[in-house]
Amino acid sequence: MNKRQIYTLALGAGCFISGAFVSKVADTKLSVSIVREAQKLIGLNFTDAQLDSTLTDLEEFQQSYELLRKQPLPNSVAPALAFNPIPVGYTFEKQKAKFEVAKPSNVKLPKNRDELAFYTLPQLAELIRTKQISSEDLTKFYLERLKKYGPTLECVTTLTEEMALEQARKADKEIKAGKYKGILHGIPFGVKDLLSTKKYKTTWGAMPYKDQVIDEDATVVQRLQDAGGVLVAKMTLGALAMGDVWYGGKTRSPWDVNKGSSGSSAGSAAAVAAGLVPYAIGTETLGSIVSPSTACGTTGLRPTFGRISRHGAMALSWSMDKIGPITRSAEDAAIVFNAIHGPDGKDQSVYDVPFNYNPSINPKKLRVGYLKADFDRDYGFKENDEATLAALRKAGIELVPIELPDLPARALTLTISVEGAAAFDELTRSGRDSLLVAQHKNAWPTIFRAGRFVPAVEYLQAQRVRTLLVQQMQEKLKDVDVYLSPSFASSNLVVTNLTGHPCVVVPNGFQKNGMPTTITFMGKLFGEAEALTLAKFYQSITKHHEQHPSMDFASKRKS
The pLDDT of residue 25 is 56
The pLDDT of residue 20 is 44
- Give the separation between CA 133 and CA 113, rounded to whole angstroms: 12
What size, in residues, is the chain?
Answer: 559
Report pLDDT digits (tens) over 259-295. Answer: 999 999 999 999 999 999 999 999 999 999 999 999 9
User: In sequence order, what DSSP letters do the residues of 199-255 get, joined into one string?
Assistant: TB---TT-GGGTT----S--HHHHHHHHTT-EEEEEEP-STTTSSSEETTEE-EETT
Rg (CA), the chain: 24
The pLDDT of residue 24 is 57
Number of neighbours of residue 38 by Cβ within 10 angstroms: 22
Give Cα separations from 73 to 76, 423, 447 (angstroms).
8, 9, 20
Peptide bond into 485 cis (omega under 30): no
- For residues 508 and 331, the answer to whether their CB atoms sit within 8 Å is no
- For residues 445 and 436, the answer to whether their CB atoms sit within 8 Å is yes
- Flag residues of the chain having pLDDT under 70: 1-27, 559
Sign of CA dihedral 307, 311, 317, 319: positive
- Give the separation between CA 66 and CA 48, rounded to whole angstroms: 27
The pLDDT of residue 554 is 75
The pLDDT of residue 343 is 98
Report pLDDT digits (tens) over 160-190. Answer: 999 999 999 999 999 999 999 999 999 999 9
The pLDDT of residue 26 is 53
Task: Estimate the crossing angle of helix 135-153 against helix 121-129, to 10 degrees.
Answer: 150
The pLDDT of residue 18 is 33
The pLDDT of residue 281 is 99
What are the structural domains of the chain?
Answer: 1-71 (no CATH), 113-408+463-549 (3.90.1300.10)
Instruction: Report the candidate in 327, 259, 330 with the shortest Cα–Cα distance to residue 521.
Output: 330
Q: What contacts 107, CB < 8 A, 6 or more positions away? A: 119, 123, 126, 127, 130, 132
The pLDDT of residue 558 is 80
Instruction: Report the candidate in 457, 67, 501 with the shortest Cα–Cα distance to residue 284.
Output: 501
